[in-house]
């Protein structure tokens, strides 16, 4: 990565975006557009189609037709693999351009975006491309006069609804396994971060994905997202986003065709620090990165720091020191460690949570305010609040911003009780030099992912999914494939 190339790309005008339906770039049926505002400076830098009900219906019909005529599902696995491998190559070949476009749209710092967005998306597409011709059906252990076969079939049309924090990475988590298994997809990106994902979808066509197999419609969740959720022609809905929207999607499914709904929702992940952790300085630096990178807009962010009381003050001081060394600024500068908050609404919401935390008895030991307002962009100082009780809003509600709540604990039992004191269960970590304690914590803390002596960085070989109100099903790894297939039994009398 090179700053001169980034500077050249960030200065380029960005042409208006449209939907991708039946292999064509098409505007909204009523000509409507939405302004795309950059969180870097608060300025409009392009527009995208504002999808209508008719647009989403057209995209669904196109995907259904594409599935039924077998233009993709009917291709040999080897042919499907070639297309997906080429798509991954094209994403990599255009990585910097995609990353800069994405950062202008959502504000993630470029040094994180380049790896987490095109880098991870290409890796994910390639992972499922490589896997698709190694997934076999099964023969059941029956008596000799019966052949019991289990076929793994594509589900049909998948609706995928994506959030704004890592659009390409999360988009690829859904698109990779869904397309690998032969499904058609209708994608709905977020209003506030659609551009890089839309361009990534266009690259799939360049790679040879047949028209109609992947359609993408931009617009408001409450309009086009609702049509997707209520459609009788969508077989499976996969979603990453907030719990409120997740609930709606379950309602849509119940009110329509009872489609399967998989939800990857929010978290309030505990990062548990014991005094016997092998390297507390390292733990402090990683704890700061684990909540403040991408301005805390990371589903697995370690937003609750639970610290053994005997080291509370020195550890909090070390996290504050590490955080104060993380430069907040223009996300397209390579030296920036923390970029912009995605939108003004999100920033206002973050600051509201800090006010509430103080009213509820918390003490701000770092940050707590908006910064760099003169840029017109949405920036917030990394914020640490101590004295957060188990009942406090900062324990119970996901902020999805650069706000770390700290709570002290005395015993292992206390740590487990505090860690499990929310409705969420997405991720967590334990830092300790005691092997037994580490394994006990992994077992007892209710989450989908537990880290030991690290935070974040789990790659595509392992699943990511939540328990409780953090969702169901998983993205990543071979387990994700289960969402995109139906098992069909053939019971044959010989």
Residue 95's closest CA among 2, 174, 215? 2
Which lies closer to ligand NAD via its Cβ, residue 68 or residue 251?
251
Which lies closer to ligand NAD via its Cβ, residue 265 or residue 430?
265
Total of residues contacting ligand NAD (CB under 6 A): 30
Closest approach, Cβ 301 to ligand NAD, in A, equals 8
Should residue 240 be labelled a site residue for ligand NAD when binding is judged by CB under 6 A? yes
What is the widest separation between alpha-carbon atoms in the chain? 79
Q: How far apart are CA 391 and CA 380, in angstroms?
A: 25
Which lies closer to ligand NAD via its Cβ, residue 342 or residue 432?
342
Should residue 188 be labelled a site residue for ligand NAD when binding is judged by CB under 6 A? yes
Residues from 374 through 403 that contact ligand NAD (CB under 6 A) = 398, 400
Q: How far apart are CA 368 and CA 123, in angstroms?
A: 37
Closest approach, Cβ 448 to ligand NAD, in A, equals 8
Should residue 118 be labelled a site residue for ligand NAD when binding is judged by CB under 6 A? no
C-alpha 431, offset from chain centre: 25
Among 34, 157, 299, 421, binds ligand NAD (CB under 6 A): 299
User: Strand locations in 69-108, DSSP E?
Assistant: none
- The angle at the Cα of 311, spanning 305 to 314, to the nearest 5 degrees, equals 85
- Please confirm, yes or no, whether 264 is among the known catalytic residues: yes
Place of tokens 């993380």: 326
Closest approach, Cβ 127 to ligand NAD, in A, equals 17
Q: What is the CA radius of gyration of the chain?
A: 23
Closest approach, Cβ 247 to ligand NAD, in A, equals 10
Strand partners, 138: 150
Residues from 241 through 280 that contact ligand NAD (CB under 6 A) = 241-242, 245, 248, 264-267
Residue 273, CA distances (Å) to 87, 287, 302, 423, 432 in order: 42, 9, 12, 21, 7
Helix pair angle (77-93, 167-180), 10° resolution: 160
Should residue 426 be labelled a site residue for ligand NAD when binding is judged by CB under 6 A? yes
Strands 260-264 and 370-371 turn out to be unpaired
Q: How far apart are CA 55 and CA 223, in angstroms?
A: 10
Among 62, 108, 183, 190, binds ligand NAD (CB under 6 A): 190
Q: How far apart are CA 383 and CA 74, in angstroms?
A: 53
Q: How far apart are CA 210 and CA 233, in angstroms?
A: 19
Which lies closer to ligand NAD via its Cβ, residue 241 or residue 367?
241
Q: In this chain, which stretch among 10-18, 75-83, 218-226, 429-437 interacts with ligand NAD, using CB under 6 A?
A: 218-226
Annotated catalytic residue, options 299, 363, 374, 398? 299
Should residue 226 be labelled a site residue for ligand NAD when binding is judged by CB under 6 A? yes
Q: In this chain, which stretch among 64-72, 108-116, 238-246, 406-414 interacts with ligand NAD, using CB under 6 A?
A: 238-246
Which lies closer to ligand NAD via its Cβ, residue 94 or residue 245?
245
**Environment class of 488 (CB within 10 Å of its CB; exposed 0-12, middle 13-18, buried 19+):** exposed
Chain residues that interact with ligand NAD, rule: CB under 6 A: 161-165, 170, 188, 190-191, 221-222, 225-226, 229, 240-242, 245, 248, 264-267, 299, 398, 400, 426, 464, 466, 471
**What residues are labeled active site?**
264, 299
């Amino acid at each position: 990565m090179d700053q001169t190339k980034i500077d050249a790309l960030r200065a380029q005008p960005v042409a208006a975006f449209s939907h991708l339906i039946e292999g064509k770039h098409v505007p909204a049926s009523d000509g409507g557009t939405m302004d795309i505002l950059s969180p870097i400076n608060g300025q409009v830098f392009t527009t995208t189609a504002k999808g209508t009900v008719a647009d989403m219906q057209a995209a669904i019909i196109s995907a259904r037709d594409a599935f039924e005529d077998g233009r993709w599902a009917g291709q040999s696995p080897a042919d499907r693999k070639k297309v997906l491998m080429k798509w991954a190559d094209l994403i990599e070949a255009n990585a910097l351009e995609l990353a800069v476009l994405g950062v202008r749209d959502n504000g993630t710092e470029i040094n994180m975006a380049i790896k987490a967005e095109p880098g991870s998306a290409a890796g994910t597409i390639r992972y499922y491309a490589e896997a698709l011709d190694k997934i076999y059906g099964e023969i059941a252990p029956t008596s000799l006069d019966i052949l019991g076969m289990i076929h793994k079939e594509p589900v049909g049309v998948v609706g995928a609804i994506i959030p704004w924090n890592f659009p390409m990475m999360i988009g690829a988590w859904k698109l990779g396994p869904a397309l690998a298994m032969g499904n058609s997809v209708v994608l709905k990106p977020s209003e506030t971060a659609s551009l890089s994902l839309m361009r990534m979808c266009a690259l799939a066509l360049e790679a040879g994905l047949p028209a109609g197999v992947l359609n993408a419609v931009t617009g408001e969740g409450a309009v086009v997202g609702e049509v997707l959720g209520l459609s009788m022609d969508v077989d499976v809905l996969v979603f990453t986003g907030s719990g409120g929207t997740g609930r709606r999607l379950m309602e849509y499914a119940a009110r329509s065709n009872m489609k399967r709904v998989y939800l990857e929702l929010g978290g309030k992940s505990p990062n548990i620090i014991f005094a016997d952790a092998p390297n507390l300085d390292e733990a402090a630096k990683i704890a700061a990165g684990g909540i403040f990178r991408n301005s805390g807009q990371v589903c697995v962010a370690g937003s609750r720091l639970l610290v053994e009381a005997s080291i509370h003050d020195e550890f909090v001081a070390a996290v504050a020191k590490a955080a104060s060394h993380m430069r907040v600024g223009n996300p397209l500068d390579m030296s920036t460690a923390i970029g912009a908050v995605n939108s003004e609404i999100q920033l206002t919401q973050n600051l509201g949570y800090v006010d509430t935390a103080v009213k509820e008895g918390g003490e701000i030991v770092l940050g707590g305010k908006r910064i760099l307002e003169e840029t017109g962009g949405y920036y917030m100082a990394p914020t640490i609040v101590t004295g957060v009780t188990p009942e406090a809003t900062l324990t119970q509600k996901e902020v999805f911003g650069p706000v770390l709540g700290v709570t002290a604990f005395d015993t292992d039992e206390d740590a487990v009780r505090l860690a499990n004191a929310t409705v969420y269960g997405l991720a967590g970590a334990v830092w300790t030099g005691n092997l037994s304690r580490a394994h006990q914590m992994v077992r007892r803390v209710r989450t989908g992912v537990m880290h030991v002596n690290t935070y974040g960085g789990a790659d595509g070989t392992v699943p990511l999914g939540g328990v409780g109100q953090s969702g169901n099903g998983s993205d990543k790894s071979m387990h994700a494939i289960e969402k995109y297939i139906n098992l069909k039994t053939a019971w044959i009398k010989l």
